[in-house]
Amino acid sequence: MNYSDFLISIIIPMKNESAGVEILFSRLEPILDSLAKTGGKWEIICVNDGSNDNTLEILRAKSLVNPRVKVLSLSRNFGKEAALTAGLEYAKGDVVVPLDADLQDPPELIPEMVSQWKNGFKVVLATRKTRNESWMKRKSAGAFYNIMGRFSTVRIPKNTGDFRLIDRQVVEAVKLLPERTRFMKGLFAWAGFKTTTIYFDRPARFAGTTNWNYWKLWKFALDGIFSFSTFPLKIWTYIGVIISLISFLYGSFLIIRTLLYGSDVPGYASLMTVILFLGGIQLISLGIIGEYIGRIYRETKHRPLYVIEEKIGF
């Protein structure tokens, strides 16, 4: 690899980010220009993910002034993961950095990432030392990473969003993955490659409002768990075995007791308990099986992940 002549692609998914775009560019462009002094050419790929404010118009103007700014505009809101996938598809860079538009991923880290890449790392993660977020969000994120760490076959780095530098080789590996459920940080982690981490304090959102609420985050966490672990399916085997064992012991006890002392009619309470308990367990396990079947169904339809309405600057 020729480290003194490379192209860096910044991918920015954007949904309703008009309030922050100017500031974002005023901080990002000088940094990329300073990289250019050491041989790096750059491009910025903004993916307009169905914004209903004037994000697209601002981006169009940006692209006119500077042809290194390119815009993919999706036909509707497909979600951040799909937007990122679209950006990866069109990025030409030898290295690629996905970036949030709200400056929660400080672009000032990019030169440090590039120098780690020049040290031979194919993936440079930017991990949050602190989270400038509510107690609830920190706790739920912590629980999520714990569960993922325990059950997933792929090591998903803690407290790390999509903000990272990835080498072209990694991009090509991720592009090979055909799945519809794009849990990007899982897919990036799946690819592997020589990885290092730099740490930063994550600031609060600069402008605009978050596009995530707890329900969306919950669904996103489920995407992560269900697409990177089959443990929720397997656990029922163990629970089933344990319950059968207990039932067998209890059944034997009942039979022996009946043989010794004759039958007694009462038993309504224990019957109800067992029926309700087992009914609940069966519904949960059916639900989990349904979750996987739903995902299989979605995958088999082979729908495209996104539809591009307009390409600007390509």
Shortest reach from residue 5's CB to ligand UDP, in Å? 30
Write 282-288 long-range contacts (CB < 8 A, 24+).
285/236, 285/239, 288/232, 288/233, 288/236
According to the 3-state scheme, what is the secondary structure of the chain? CCCCCEEEEEEEEECCCCCCHHHHHHHHHHHHHHHHHCCEEEEEEEEECCCCCCHHHHHHHHHHHCCCEEEEEECCCCCHHHHHHHHHHHCCCCEEEECCCCCCCCHHHHHHHHHHHHCCCCEEEEEEEEECCCHHHHHHHHHHHHHHHHHCCCCCCCCEEEEEEEEHHHHHHHHHCCCCCCCHHHHHHHHCCCEEEEEEEECCCCCCCCCCCHHHHHHHHHHHHHHHCCHHHHHHHHHHHHHHHHHHHHHHHHHHHHHHHCCCCCCHHHHHHHHHHHHHHHHHHHHHHHHHHHHHHHHHCCCCCCCEEEEECC
| Dist CA 46 CA 314 (whole Å) | 12
| Contact with ligand UDP (CB under 6 A) among 40, 79, 107, 157 | 79
Number of residues that bind Mg ion (CB under 5 A): 4
**Is residue 80 at the binding interface for ligand UDP, with CB under 6 A as the rule?**
yes
Q: Is residue 211 involved in binding ligand UDP (CB under 6 A)? A: yes
49/100 with CB nearer Mg ion: 100
CB nearer ligand UDP, residue 77 or residue 197: 77
Distance of closest approach, residue 72 Cβ to ligand UDP, in angstroms: 11
Q: Which of residues 176-235 bind Mg ion (CB under 5 A)?
A: 205
* 105 binds ligand UDP per the rule CB under 6 A: no
- Tell whether residue 94 is a contact of ligand UDP (CB under 6 A): no
- Cβ count within 10 A of residue 151: 15
Contact window for ligand UDP (CB under 6 A) among 8-16, 148-156, 165-173, 295-303: 8-16
Quick check: 202 binds ligand UDP (CB under 6 A)? Answer: no
Pick the binder of ligand UDP from 29, 94, 102, 167 (CB under 6 A).
102
17 sits near Mg ion (criterion: CB under 5 A): no
Position among 18, 48, 51, 104 found at the interface with Mg ion (CB under 5 A): 104
Among 29, 49, 102, 162, binds Mg ion (CB under 5 A): 102
Q: Is 16 in the site for Mg ion (CB under 5 A)?
A: no
| 55 near Mg ion, judged by CB under 5 A | no
Give which of ligand UDP, Mg ion, none residue 185 binds (C-beta under 5 to 8 Å, depending on kind): none
Q: Per CB under 6 A, does 14 bind ligand UDP?
A: yes
Asked if 9 touches Mg ion (CB under 5 A), the answer is: no
* Interface positions with ligand UDP (CB under 6 A): 13-15, 17, 49, 77, 79-80, 83, 100-102, 104, 205, 210-212
* Interface positions with Mg ion (CB under 5 A): 100, 102, 104, 205
